[in-house]
Chain A
Amino acid sequence: MPKTLSRWLPLAIVTVAALWLRTRGLALRPMHADEANQAVRAGELLETGRYAYDPRDHHGPLLYYGVLPVAWCRGQGTLAGLDEVTVRLVPALAGTACVLLLGLLAAPLGRWPSLAAAAFLAASPPAVYYSRYFIQETLLAASALAAFVCARQWLREGRARWAGAAGACLGLMLASKESAPLFALAAFAAFLLARAAGGPPLPGRPARGLLAGAAAAIAVTALFYSSFGAHPSGLRDLLGGYGQALARLRGANTGHEKPWWYFLRLFTWWRAGGLVFEEAGFAALVLAGFCAALARGTPLLRWAAAYSGLVLIALSAVPYKTPWHAVDLAPGFALLAAGAVAAPSRTRPGRWAASAAALAVLGMLAFQADRSARAYASDPRNPFAYVHSSPDVLRFRPMAEAALGRSPDGVIRVISEEYWPLPWYFRGLARVGYWDRPPADCDGALVIASADLAGAVRSRLRGAYAESYLGLRPGFVCVVFTPRP
Chain B
Amino acid sequence: MKHAPVIRLAAAVLALAALASARAEDLVPLKVELPKPLFVGTPRPIKVSNLEPQQDAANRPPVMVPPGTALLSRGKPVTASDSYPVIGELGYLTDGDKSGVEGSYVEFGPGVQWAQVDLGAPARLAAVAVWHFHAEARVYHAVVIQASNDPAFKSGVTTLFNNDDTNADGLGKGTDLAYVETYKGRVVDAKGVVARYVRLYSDGNTSDELNHYTEVEVYGRPVN
Contacts and interface: CB of A to CB of B under 8 A. Distances in A.
A273 B51 CA distance: 26
Given A390-B208, A468-B178, A476-B44, A273 B138 contact: no
B157 interface: no
Interface in A445-485: 451-452, 454-455, 458, 466, 468-471, 473-477, 479
B35 interface: no
A275 interface: yes
A390 B88 CA distance: 22
Given A390-B206, A391-B204, A274 B87 contact: yes
A47 interface: no
Interface in B118-165: 135-139, 141, 165
Contacts of B44: 474-476
A256 to B, nearest CB: 12
* Chain A, interface SS category: mixed
B176 interface: no
B207 A452 contact: no
A469 B207 contact: no
B26 interface: no
Contact of B207 (A451, A454, A471): A471
Nearest to B47: A452
A322 to B, nearest CB: 16
Given A469-B178, A475-B46, A380 B208 contact: yes
Interface in A305-343: none
Interface residues of A, number: 25
A477 B87 contact: no
A380 B207 CA distance: 8
A83 interface: no
Contact of B206 (A274, A378, A379, A469): A469
B103 A451 contact: no
A474 B41 CA distance: 13
Interface in B165-224: 165-166, 178, 180, 204-210
B46 A452 contact: yes
Given A274-B102, A455-B50, A468-B165, A390 B139 contact: no
B165 A451 contact: no
A392 interface: yes
B81 interface: no
Interface string A380-424: 100000000011100000000000000000000000000000000
B92 to A, nearest CB: 11
B143 to A, nearest CB: 11
Contacts of B49: 455
Contacts of B180: 477
Contact of B138 (A391, A458, A474, A479): A474
A455 B17 CA distance: 28
A474 B207 contact: yes
Contacts of B166: 468
Contact of A451 (B50, B110, B208): B50
A454 B87 contact: no
Nearest to A449: B50
Nearest to B166: A468
Contacts of A454: 50
Given A273-B87, A470-B206, A475 B138 contact: yes
B208 A391 contact: yes
Q: Most A CB atoms within 10 A — which of B44, B50, B88, B135?
A: B50
Contacts of A392: 204, 206
Interface string B40-60: 000010111111010000000
Nearest first, the 9 A-B pairs at minimum CB distance are A471-B206, A475-B44, A474-B207, A274-B87, A454-B50, A469-B139, A391-B209, A455-B50, A469-B178
30 contacts: A273-B135, A274-B103, A379-B208, A379-B210, A380-B207, A390-B206, A391-B204, A391-B208, A391-B209, A451-B47, A451-B51, A454-B50, A455-B47, A455-B50, A458-B53, A468-B166, A469-B51, A469-B178, A470-B206, A471-B139, A471-B205, A471-B206, A474-B138, A474-B207, A474-B208, A475-B46, A475-B136, A477-B46, A477-B137, A479-B51
Given A391-B110, A469-B178, A476-B44, 11 more contacts: A379-B210, A391-B204, A451-B51, A454-B50, A468-B178, A469-B206, A473-B207, A475-B136, A475-B138, A475-B207, A477-B51
